[in-house]
Structure 1
């Protein structure tokens, strides 16, 4: 159970302002957050199932609509056969590749990409939050940094990524840097908006009581910006996967981005479609996991914590 204590005292008789008055204690159900998370988990599972169905239908329809030859265009059923069938149809999987080998290569590459995406995501979010806080505390930093940030953002990532790999190397660091850049700019814009969305009366209260800008930031601005933070997270998680794949594609045969280049060179189109499908599913799942975490955090610490709909 959590406790909320109003600042206005209430007298035992029901009036307010008496010196002997005791504060009213409002108790919020400890199960509120758990119920909210449970509902969000069920919602996320429903969205996942519905997304996979819609994705599969659109995938199949578009292949038929554009009359893509079977040698190049693989259906969701072909992807399933590529990974799990011992005897797939001709052209779905190279004869030299068993289902176990296909799964090991595909899921192993997925694990590498998710690791690269996670490192880039964490770095990008931490840097974005740090810069946004610096903007609030020190105005000159915003005037100096924001034009540079907008300039970098206007350059296509596919153009700047090779330069970044030359500077940082073609290993995990270089790939994570590319993923971090994808995460950085949307998160920075959202966080700045969130930190500035606090009500002026809350800031005045901190100032009247002798509080510093740092206190206003930690006690008022950051808690208020939590919805903006999680909006940034939901947007950035799929972007981190795409950024990691781009870095892998440019750096060599590693992760989903690297293996898709290898499969294309070997005309293993079943493998290419499988990698694309895994990347899309991983991005959807990551987005839904972020939404569940968002619900859990905001239900406990967000602006509407303890309130039920």
Structure 2
């Protein structure tokens, strides 16, 4: 640029543009804001619309109920339900991943696998649960409903991830003499990991819900579903809401833990999200 003219000389490099850096909000900020908004709306509704009926207790009365019942009451029932949900989570995801591997080996089964996922998703838990309870009894419905709640999410996530593999990368592996196994290991599985981890993360709360519904159907004497039924029958509104809050917190904790695990397993996906 010529001195004092303000005109850039031909061939000269453009002057760097200075931009003011924007401070990015923490990742947890939107979630915290959403939780705060829900709590405020809950408190407002409880002291206005449902003040007379008491069908919606105030948040502080639910917290007081948590303190009255004590840690041991909730911990014992949470432990029982989480064990059933974890078993169902394991079995359901094993089935989903086995079907995804079958599709990977035999692509002709892709349509059949998608239909299986949709069927498992559309199957009403309250309809199939009593049948499982009559046939097997015990805690089998808890594990079964938790498992069937996971299949759709994990299977669809795995299939979408496998389809996300870059065709150019597959051709490159083939061009360097790699066979089908090399394509799967070096390209398709790596491409499927972010979608699969996200699906496993969403499947955790689904498994928790399935386990609670399984206990709610009866046939067992402990667990969050059982004490929810008892609180409902006794018209104990604060305890019912307290148990619902505990169920939500456990499901949210599983979701967050799997999110942390996903960031460790797929760090490149996190980098791609932050890239402008």
TM-score normalised by structure 1 residue count: 0.71
Instruction: Tell me, in whole angstroms, the C-alpha distance in 2 between the residues paired with 1:129 and 1:65.
Output: 49
Who is 2:61 aligned against? 78
Who is 1:258 aligned against? 226
Say whether residues 1:198 and 2:165 are aligned partners. Answer: yes
User: Which stretch of structure 1 is more off in the superposition, 51-60 or 197-206?
Assistant: 51-60
Quick check: 1:224–1:303 contact (8 Å CA) kept in 2?
no
Instruction: Tell me, in whole angstroms, the C-alpha distance in 2 between the residues paired with 1:264 and 1:276.
Output: 11
CA RMSD of aligned residues (A): 2.8
SS in structure 2 of the partner of residue 58 of structure 1: helix
Quick check: 1:137–1:214 contact (8 Å CA) kept in 2?
no
Change (3 A) 1:139 1:164: farther
Instruction: Tell me, in whole angstroms, the C-alpha distance in 2 between the residues paired with 1:141 and 1:164.
Output: 28
Who is 1:136 aligned against? 104
Quick check: 2:117–2:155 contact (8 Å CA) kept in 1?
no
Across the two proteins, how many residue pairs are aligned to each other? 251
Who is 2:4 aligned against? none
Who is 2:40 aligned against? 57
- What's the offset of the Cα at 1:168? 4.0
Instruction: Tell me, in whole angstroms, the C-alpha distance in 2 between the residues paired with 1:229 and 1:271.
Output: 37
Instruction: Tell me, in whole angstroms, the C-alpha distance in 1 between the residues paired with 2:177 and 2:225.
Output: 54
- What's the offset of the Cα at 1:146? 3.7
TM-score normalised by structure 2 residue count: 0.79
| 1:144-179 deviation per Cα after TM superposition (whole angstroms, max 9, x unaligned) | 4443443343232222222233344331x4312211
Q: Unaligned 5+ residue runs, structure 1? A: 1-38, 85-98
- What's the offset of the Cα at 1:232? 0.5
- What's the offset of the Cα at 1:308? 7.5
Say whether residues 1:235 and 2:202 are aligned partners. Answer: yes
Say whether residues 1:294 and 2:257 are aligned partners. Answer: no
Q: Unaligned 5+ residue runs, structure 2? A: 1-23
Instruction: Tell me, in whole angstroms, the C-alpha distance in 1 between the residues paired with 2:141 and 2:196.
Output: 25
Say whether residues 1:147 and 2:141 are aligned partners. Answer: no
